Amino acid sequence: MYIDGQWAKAKGTFEVLNPATGEKIADVPDGGRDDAATAIAAADRAFPAWSNLTAYQRSAYLYRAYQIMMERKEDLARTMTEEQGKPLRAARNEVQYGADFLLWYAEEAKRVYGETIPAPRADQRFIVLHQPVGVVAAVTPWNYPVSMITRKVAPALAAGCTIVLKPAEATPLCAIEIFKILAEAEIPAGVANLVTAADPKPIGEEFVSNPAVRKITFTGSTGVGKMLAQGAAEQMKRISLELGGHAPFLVFDDANPQYAAKGAALVKFLNTGQACISPNRIFVHKSIVEPFTEEFISRVTRLRGGNGMEDGISIGPLVNEAAVDKVERQVNDAVEKGAKIGCGGHRLIDDGLDKGHFFAPTVLTGVTPDMLIYREETFGPVAPIIAFDDDETAITMANDTHYGLAAYVYTQNISRAHRMFERLRFGIVGINDINPTGAAAPFGGMKESGLGREGGREGIAEYLETKLGGFSV
């Protein structure tokens, strides 16, 4: 653990396993609630000095961290592949994406502007300042174990906040490497703190109950997010949540079915389907559903599962056996209710893959609303294809979910594109675009997909309070 500028041990340790092989990679400190409290106290002590630095000084620290991270890009990517399982090429892309947040917020730190407001009285002046909220408690997920850290740490530090991070128990090694970078960048003691733990519950309880924590930022399941929001309400803590998704992918009759199938396959099986913006329901107009499905299955059958360190691997392992069980349950339920398997539909156990958590990339056709996969987020390599008749039906089916994170639309009609962008109840909509993300762009969802935004200028606003000064002159 990294607390108050020092590397610290805990009373015990827990194992980190390679999801592709089942082998132990390392033992990591198993922190508890007391460790979280110690880290929060350190962050609280460091806050006055850090928040009083100029924006240019804080920017310089973040820029130095960016430079170090880029120097260690390959080592970070290999750590990620070994610990999380994604193919090495994808891991390299994520390290770059994660570094982008350090660079973006190194600049955005200098763009926190105030304003003057015309007052109703001649002897009065209004001035608005934006100031850091205070100590931030952050919880990050395992599926993007580097970029989800920098996406929270960078804007928090840029704003002048101090932070305590609890990374996912499945991927603490990536977090440790990121904090080595922050330490080498000489970010002052107590400003950025790391507590690793096998059991997140006690850490979360301390984050929620400790009055020194003024903001919680969490990426993970909707269920846990709701619990944190309820707890934060007791002390009126600021909270931002990036939760589950159930993204629709709409392909209209004027789209090129082969081009749309290529895009759908690329984004659906990114990170083995373990992404909150992964398409979970692929809606295709009935007039082109056959050529789309043919091309889609052709592409999916060429995907190769295995250890992400090997060349040519595009499908890594799922995070654990419970994730495999969930995917298998959804596929079996769909088949029992009439869906057809276009390809895949089974665990991968040949050539030593039985030692890891692998499931074959799968395509289901004939999916209907009564099936689990139509309603539940999958977080795995299964793509259900559903035919639709008209635009209104497509919009209704797409919006028929409690989630509202991401949606995708393929159409060549500019009017339809605008209508879909406006009417789909999702925080992110990709129009003929399967990667509508970037450090400069706001990321977040509606409905039960969360609160607040990360990235862009909106991302730093989440860590700032607005203060009004009224002056009599």
Active site residues: 242, 276
Q: Are 411 and 420 in contact (CB under 8 A)?
A: yes
C-alpha atoms less than 13 angstroms from C-alpha of 195 in its C-beta half-sphere: 32
Residue 430: both structure tokens together: 């990709």
First to last CA, the chain: 52
User: Mapped to the 3 state alphabet, what secondary structure does the chain carry?
Assistant: CEECCEECCCCEEEEEECCCCCCEEEEEEECCHHHHHHHHHHHHHHHHHHHHCCHHHHHHHHHHHHHHHHHCHHHHHHHHHHHHCCCHHHHHHHHHHHHHHHHHHHHHHHHCCCEEECCCCCCEEEEEEEEECCEEEEECCCCCCCHHHHHHHHHHHHHCCEEEEECCCCCHHHHHHHHHHHHHCCCCCCCEEECCCCCHHHHHHHHHHCCCEEEEEEECCHHHHHHHHHHHHCCCCEEEEECCCCEEEEECCCCCHHHHHHHHHHHHCHHHHCCCCCEEEEEEECCCHHHHHHHHHHHHCCCCECCCCCCCCCECCCCCHHHHHHHHHHHHHHHHCCCEEEECCCECCHHHHHHCCCECCEEEECCCCCCHHHHCCCCCCEEEEEEECCHHHHHHHHHCCCCCCEEEEECCCHHHHHHHHHHCCCCEEEECCCCCCCCCCCECCCHHHEECCECHHHHHHCCEEEEEEEEEC
C-alpha span between 417 and 259 (Å, rounded)? 17
As a residue count, the chain comes to 473
Q: Which amino acid is at 313?
A: I
Instruction: Select from 269, 146, 160, 161 the least CA-distant residue to 214.
Output: 161
C-alpha span between 404 and 286 (Å, rounded)? 25
413-440: b (≥16 Cβ within 10 Å) or e? eeebbeebeeebbbbbbbbeebebbebe
